[in-house]
Chains A and B, each alone.
Chain A
Amino acid sequence: MPYIQNSDADRSEMLAAVGVKSIADLFTSIPEEVRLNESLNLSAGLSEDQLMRHMQELSSGNQASAGVNFLGGGIYDHSWPTTVDHLMSRSEFLTAYTPYQPECSQGTLQAIYEFQSMIAELCGCEIANASMYDGASAAAEAAMMAMSQTRRKKVIVSAAMHPETRETIHTYLKHIDAEMVEAPIVDGVTDFSGLIDDKTAAVMVQQPNFFGNIEDIAAVAEAAKEVKALSVASLYPVATGILASPGKQGIDIVVGDGQSLGVPMAFGGPSFGFFAAQQKSVRKLPGRLVGISNDTEGRRAFTLTFQTREQHIRREKATSNICTNNALIALRGCIHMAALGPQGLEEVACVSRQRALEMVELLDLAGIRRAFPDQHFFNEVCFQVDNDEMVALFKQNLRAQGVQGVLAMSAWYDDMDGCFTLACTERTMPEDLIALSTIARQTFIPEVA
């Protein structure tokens, strides 16, 4: 039987030691009337070779990105060093459990500490936790933490936050005594005016927002501070290669999805969520934290810490229920950030933005205008054409040439007929942009093309 090493002879010997005659005797505590009499209705097992063939057949039903991908919306086609794949696939990392026993888990613990340090640096915060499930659930946890810390119930969420993040926050909040208010979008950025008051627990904004526009988060932070609410920014971490860190602009809690830090798109998961804040909030933080201490001989030693916040100690009074998070993918992020270093991250951010600037110029020649020309963008841009039919046609024409792209905004926003986004990364090649603009011209000004 696959993966089971003991032979029938071993089993006989062990059954005798236990003092039973058969395997069935081990299951007599299960009431007979609910024991299965026949096998589960599942297919027969496959050999490893059969399995590989089956999986290849199944995966060939996909058309994965062949390298030209302008889709964004929270998942971006960035590259990563081979060192990342190589190191994170080491089985000592891969097959370890949560580092509850620090003496035999220093590897994982030190790597998490280094991860926390680098994430805090990108976010401009004092501390960061060991990771969350993903960006959306991290944002929901930030809303809950703000409610707990301020003892208030109102959460104001920018309508320009990722729709799936907003939906997740909504799901988390709707069964508890909380009020979620959406701040409207004016000219592609969030307008919080008139909404933030002394009942507000959290003011939540995304940087850059779902349309790719850069929000004035310093103003958000200040407005929240005035009423002693907490400001929360959901951050695209690569952008911090050139953009100011939210924490440095006064934001209290910085969360986000780490997919852009060396993680494959993977159909949306697993990536990792991150969660950064200021030191004074440490006891309210969800999730695991690694800190530095000493061993009995005074040597530096890493350990899980502030565990009294956590569910296995505090049970129903815990700050969150999260325990297993996305540690291995956070390790990917850790290795990736270390491989990039300051210059590497800046280069990725610069090239991603340079390509986006070139894209805007080239599409302008094809008659495609930005939906919000007065706003600044990072690597993702919202465009507007006549209507959704043209959006669909453009998407179809791109697909015909093997190019993935065009995220229609009307899927989430009723009033955005004809709007769509395209994203660039450092993997976007100048020739990809030429192809994009050629198809754009053929679609929108066929008489010229």
Chain B
Amino acid sequence: MYLAPVQLLFEESRPGRRNWQTPGADRGVATADLPAHMVREKAPALPELGELDLIRHFTRLSQKNYAISTNFYPLGSCTMKYNPVVNERIAADPQWYNLHPYQDDDTVQGALELMHNLAADLGEATGLPGVTLHPAAGAHGELTALMVLRAWLDDQGQNQRRKILIPDSAHGTNPASCTLAGFDVVTVKSNDRGLCAVSDLVEHLGDDTAGMMITNPSTLGLFEEDVVKICGLVHEAGGKVYMDGANFNAIMGITRPGDFGIDMMHLNLHKTFSTPHGGGGPGSGPICVTEELTKYLPTPSVIQGENGFELSTPESSIGRVRGFHGNFLVLVRAYAYMKRLGAEGIKRVAENAVLNANYIRVKVSDHWRVPFDRICMHEFVARPTKEMREAGIHTIDIAKRLIELGYHPPTVYFPLVVAEAIMIEPTETESKETLDAFIEALIQVAKEAAAGEDFLHQAPRNMPVSRVDEAKAVKDPQLCFRCQ
């Protein structure tokens, strides 16, 4: 960790410092024929730095980050697995990255073949054969699928169906996507086993039901044991079931959503299929749907025609949800990942992800409160004990103390159904030694918390900054250098 402050680029800037140059520029020639009001008086006030200072600036910034390549990252629902370096090498092939999206199909056959085959493989893995690779992230996939649902409802003459049922443990993107797609949200309660309460679900089903969004395994790391029944009930009521596939890592190769009644789902290639998160994207959120819904998918899709692979528009497509053909270089990495693993490797991913999660769970459940302490899937949720809370220690203190001990904290305060939640997802790529060390840290922090150690409130004390005043950032907004 690089601890010293790094000045802003703008503060490091000195007039006249040059770096990248393009010979032959002549502002007079370039602007002579343009009316004065179209032309700017002087160049935009970007920072001016030499090459070495630029390298140091960003290298030092990089060293102020925790990352998978430096630290264990047990961030629940985010599947922070190892991002294989070979995939970066593969994506750096100019035969991929130098393609223009408007080249003729016959000059991009490799790219189209890759997209075609990746879609087919994702269809096989999910049991949902209609696949679009367009959406740029999971939330974008949700929105796209809800638009598909709307198109299907319109075709059925069922436009009055506006309600989407969503369990209270769902990701916030689910309800937000519903609003964007013009649906109304109805929340379904969880039962005392942490599962979607079928009795509550039934209460809300009716001829205004458009569908349901279910996360399986749920954000509590539990497989929805009644999922077959739930899908049946929603279908009977005339709706479709969407699955949030953020947690697909747990069940890949073990079971297929298409086989247990799901009609549509998204996959996060930047979670399950190992493409790097990059500090918040680019992701890729393909959606997989049943045969019946395939004709509504966004345009373009890739089909295999007589003269090779080509871009095509599905019969009743909802249209475009973005420009061009998807986050292509993310698709290249995910494709390479699947090819390297093969059918058996994919199944081993799920097995080891679930084993790793359960191993941590059993080792810490004597020290932490684990509300649903039974065999879990790829993650589980813990929370501080009564003793810790009475000692004035909250989840935020736990998270910050873990940072101090060299771990990126688990997901905290989510899902909302567990107060002070700590959601732990180790992924399959971690070794037993890493898990053991993390378990030891969790037990140590549990003891410190139970003792109400004051230094927990000061944590982290060994990072470039200590706790940040988030309220001040809102009260006195400084979002850009020029606004100060």
Contact = CB atoms under 8 A, between A and B. Distances in A.
Interface in B15-67: 17-22, 24-27, 29-31, 33-35, 37-40, 42-49, 51, 54-55, 57-67
A375 to B, nearest CB: 11
A137 B140 contact: yes
A265 B344 CA distance: 35
Contacts of A81: 19-20, 51
Nearest to B355: A14
A103 B464 contact: yes
Interface string B164-181: 000000011101111111
A55 interface: yes
Nearest to B78: A97
Contacts of B137: 133, 322-325
Given A17-B359, A127-B483, A292-B473, A77 B298 contact: no
Nearest to A125: B480
A316 B179 contact: yes
Nearest to A144: B180
Interface in B334-362: 336, 338-349, 351-352, 354-356, 358-359, 361-362
B142 interface: yes
B312 interface: no
A93 B67 contact: yes
Contacts of A294: 468-469, 472
A205 interface: no
Given A245-B40, A267-B328, A317-B179, A107 B64 contact: yes
Interface stretch (A59-67, A149-157, A438-446): A59-67
Given A218-B37, A243-B39, A290-B479, 13 more contacts: A3-B81, A19-B362, A30-B225, A39-B344, A45-B342, A91-B70, A94-B276, A94-B278, A95-B68, A107-B64, A171-B298, A241-B44, A303-B473
B465 to A, nearest CB: 4
8 contacts: A2-B341, A45-B341, A46-B339, A83-B54, A135-B323, A245-B40, A267-B329, A269-B101
Given A266-B329, A324-B281, A301 B465 contact: yes
B245 interface: no
A357 to B, nearest CB: 7
B325 interface: yes
A23 B172 contact: no
Contacts of A164: 320, 323-324
A54 to B, nearest CB: 6
A64 B399 contact: no
| A interface residue count range (under 10 / 10 to 19 / 20 to 34 / 35 or more) | 35 or more
B19 A341 contact: yes
Given A10-B431, A77-B100, A294-B472, A93 B466 contact: no
A392 B316 CA distance: 29
B99 A62 contact: yes
A103 B479 contact: no
B477 A107 contact: no
A131 B251 CA distance: 32
A117 B481 contact: yes
Contacts of B86: 48, 51-52
Interface string A1-45: 111111000110111011110010111111101111001111111
B62 A90 contact: yes
A1 B391 CA distance: 45
Contact of A97 (B98, B108, B408): B408
Contacts of A199: none
Q: Which 5 A-B pairs have the closest CB atoms?
A: A268-B324, A328-B278, A45-B342, A61-B110, A268-B101
B254 A110 contact: no
Contacts of A240: 40, 44
Given A106-B465, A266-B97, A98 B180 contact: no
B241 interface: no
B384 interface: no
Interface in A86-100: 86-87, 89-99
A74 B325 CA distance: 13
Interface stretch (A185-193, A224-232, A331-339, A363-371): A331-339
B319 A167 contact: yes
A301 B25 contact: no
Contacts of B468: 102-103, 293-295, 301-303
Interface stretch (B1-9, B232-240, B440-448): B1-9
A127 B1 CA distance: 30
A42 B100 contact: no
A45 B279 contact: no
Contact of B113 (A58, A172, A349): A58
A262 B254 CA distance: 42
Contacts of A302: 468
Contacts of A165: 323
A418 to B, nearest CB: 18
Contacts of A407: 102
A288 B22 CA distance: 34
Contacts of A34: 228, 255-256, 259-260
B21 A347 contact: yes
B180 A344 contact: no
Interface in A103-124: 103-108, 110-114, 116-118, 120-122
B67 A94 contact: yes
Interface stretch (B87-95, B196-204, B287-295): B87-95
B457 to A, nearest CB: 10
A271 B114 CA distance: 19
Contact of A168 (B38, B51, B121, B321): B321
A350 B478 CA distance: 33
A269 B324 contact: yes
Contacts of A268: 100-101, 323-326, 328
A17 B101 CA distance: 52
Given A62-B99, A269-B328, A344-B19, A171 B147 contact: yes
A97 B279 contact: yes
A320 interface: yes
B63 A244 contact: no
Contacts of A118: 44, 46-47
B281 A340 contact: no
B375 A342 contact: no
A282 B477 contact: yes
B328 A293 contact: no
A338 B47 contact: yes
A92 B254 contact: no
B367 to A, nearest CB: 15
